[in-house]
């Protein structure tokens, strides 16, 4: 199921689509999701959408941005019951360095709605930053440490010749 826009759309401005999208991605038959050109204001918005995916196995993220790298959560003293997480077997991310770092952080955080330990295929693509403002190595290494079944790995940084294929 593709959720793809021709230009960047602010997730909060798509509020009228949230309920139908949550219903669609919540299908026990949905195994593949491709989303592109969506700007999430916070990581929790990104996690909320993906948290509705109950059977997702393949996720393709193209030019998705997460606005806030960190969020402050209020302590209520009660923890919500942990929902079962979909086990991804394939993940492809194509975006900017800052967004790639934030998306990876979303997958390796304790609040991640998706389990990346079963990844078989992982492809990460981004433009090489002119200046190394973003730490991509740390988050990528953390993600790789969580995978247990990885058989295919592609790491690309373009358009310059910063290409790694393993």
**Burial of 161 by CB count in 10 Å (0-12 exposed, 13-18 middle, 19+ buried)?**
exposed
The secondary structure of 92-153 as a DSSP string is: EEEE-HHHHHHHHHHHHSTT-SEE-TT-SEEEEEEEPPSS--S--HHHHHHHHHH-SS--EE
Using an 8 Å Cβ cutoff, are 63 and 36 in contact? yes
Residue spans per domain, the chain: 2-71+81-165
Using an 8 Å Cβ cutoff, are 96 and 126 in contact? yes
Please state, in angstroms and rounded to a whole number, the distance separating the CA atoms of residues 112 and 90.
16
Which residue matches tokens 């955080």?
109
- As a whole number, mean pLDDT of residues 124-138 equals 73
Please state, in angstroms and rounded to a whole number, the distance separating the CA atoms of residues 64 and 79.
29
Is pLDDT at 49 greater than 80 in this prediction? yes
The whole model's pTM is what? 0.81
Please state, in angstroms and rounded to a whole number, the distance separating the CA atoms of residues 141 and 143.
5
Please state, in angstroms and rounded to a whole number, the distance separating the CA atoms of residues 85 and 50.
10
Is pLDDT at 77 greater than 60 in this prediction? no
Q: Give backbone dihedrals phi and psi of 140, rounded to 5 degrees, phi first.
A: -65, -45
Is pLDDT at 161 greater than 90 in this prediction? no
- As a whole number, mean pLDDT of residues 33-62 equals 92
- As a whole number, mean pLDDT of residues 40-65 equals 92
The pairing of beta strand 162-165 with beta strand 152-158: antiparallel
């Amino acid at each position: 199921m593709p959720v793809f826009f021709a230009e960047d759309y602010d997730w909060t401005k798509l509020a009228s689509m949230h309920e139908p999208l949550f219903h669609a991605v919540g299908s026990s038959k949905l195994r593949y999701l491709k989303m592109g050109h969506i700007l999430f204001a916070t990581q929790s918005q990104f996690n909320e959408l993906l948290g509705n995916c109950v059977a997702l196995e393949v996720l393709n993220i193209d030019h998705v941005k997460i606005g806030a790298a960190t969020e402050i959560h209020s302590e209520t003293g009660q923890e919500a019951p942990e929902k079962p997480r979909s086990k991804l077997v394939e993940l492809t991310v194509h975006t900017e360095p800052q967004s790639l770092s934030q998306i990876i952080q979303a997958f390796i955080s304790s609040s991640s709605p998706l389990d990346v330990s079963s990844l078989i295929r992982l492809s990460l693509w981004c433009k090489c930053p002119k200046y190394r403002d973003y730490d991509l190595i740390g988050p990528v290494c953390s993600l790789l440490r969580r995978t247990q079944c990885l058989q295919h790995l592609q790491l690309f940084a373009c358009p310059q010749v910063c290409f790694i294929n393993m």
